[in-house]
Amino acid sequence: MSTSIAIVDYGMGNIHSVERALRYAAPEANVYLANTVELLNKADRVVLPGQGAMRDCMQNLEKSGLKEALLLASRTKPLLGVCVGEQMLFERSQEGDVSCLGIFPGEVKKFEGDVFAKPHFNDHQEHLKVPHMGWSQVKQEREHPVWNGIPDNSYFYFVHSYYVKPSDDSLTVGSTLYGHTFTCAVARDNIFAAQFHPEKSAEQGLRLYRNFVEWQI
């Protein structure tokens, strides 16, 4: 029997590009959009995408009626958070000063400070702007099955103005340098989440999705 993967469809996020990438990476899996509690509950694995303002994401999730089912899944099933879907796992976001799901301790902070407020160039002579948009290297801070076969310091694609700051350093499994080093991937127990977009990250992104499908917790 093939594994079933529900992409949480609460009206926000690049759900169709995530769906296409997952189907390509794991053609044997049953990948579908879940906009009801029944569809979410029956999945073996869950993907939480997110895009746009945090307040809108949290409000839409609440209105969709999927929040409690998602929280239950986060305790019992392999869960992959993507972009704002990673940020939603934490306690609070500076974006709109809004409460998030509170699954992980920590907050979501904005890129700010002199390094972004005035002309500043990184090692590649690229001007640092907010949002952080484009390809950046990801340092794997510790081993994890979702990193299997992905070389350390591989490039992934980012589009974001906010980043997570975990209260527990052990949550961090990936970091990226953009003005300063920030956490770009977190994991604990059955959850793995990343700030970057695997579906926009070519071969390594597809490998990450494949690894998630094969991950045995």
Catalytic residues: 83, 197, 199
- DSSP conformation letters of the chain: ---EEEEE-SS-S-HHHHHHHHHHH-TTSEEEEE-SHHHHHT-SEEEE---S-HHHHHHHHHHHT-HHHHHHHHHHS-EEEETHHHHTTSSEETTTTEE---SSSEEEEE--SHHHHS--B-TT-PBP-SSEEEEEEEEE-S--GGGTT--TTEEEEEEESEEEEESSGGGEEEEEEESEEEEEEEEETTEEEESSBGGGSHHHHHHHHHHHHH---
CA distance 196 to 188: 18
Gap between the terminal Cα atoms of the chain: 18
Residue 109 φ then ψ, to 5°: -120, 160
